[in-house]
Amino acid sequence: MNVEITEKRRENGLLSIFLEGEITYVNSNGVKNQIRSLMDEEIKMLVLDLGGVPFMDSAGIGVIVSLLKEMHVRGGKIALAGIQPNVGKVFWITKLDKVLPIYETREEAESAMHVSTVNNGFINLSTN
């Protein structure tokens, strides 16, 4: 049971990835390590597009919580996008929708990340 991870955008401290497959107790450690391997030190904004994830158990939630904590340690941010309705139920039950910014699309999440980062003033984005 593999999860395919596709890098969609990497620029100015932002890493945006699309996940495809189920995230469960069986593969959660592998998924976490795969994502971490893409996060070099410059990454301060992480967008996870879960549009290709039809099923997730609490181990999947654990992966996201772990990445959220890691981004906090770096002084960075994380946002989720594209969550399918059933998977959204897991976030709602565990109340993680209250601590994680969730957007309908990856593009919205990426824009929101840039805006909030500029407003916070801790990263200067290139206008090139």
Q: State which residue, 90 or 123, has the beta carbon closest to another protein.
A: 90
Closest CA to 18 of 38, 39, 4: 4
Distances (CA, A) of 59 to 16, 28, 66, 83: 21, 6, 10, 16
Sheet containing 102-103: order of strands: 4-11, 14-20, 45-52, 77-81, 102-103
Q: Provide the binding-site residues for another protein, judged by CB under 8 A.
A: 1, 24-26, 55, 57-59, 61-62, 65-66, 68-69, 86, 89-90, 93-96, 98-99
Residue among 98 and 127 whose Cβ is closer to another protein: 98
Shortest reach from residue 26's CB to another protein, in Å: 6
Residue type, 73: V
Nearer of residues 16 and 27 to another protein, judged by Cβ: 27
Whole-angstrom distance, CA of residue 56 vs CA of residue 68: 17
For another protein, the closer of residues 73 and 124 by Cβ is 73
CA distance linking residue 35 with residue 67, whole number of Å = 9
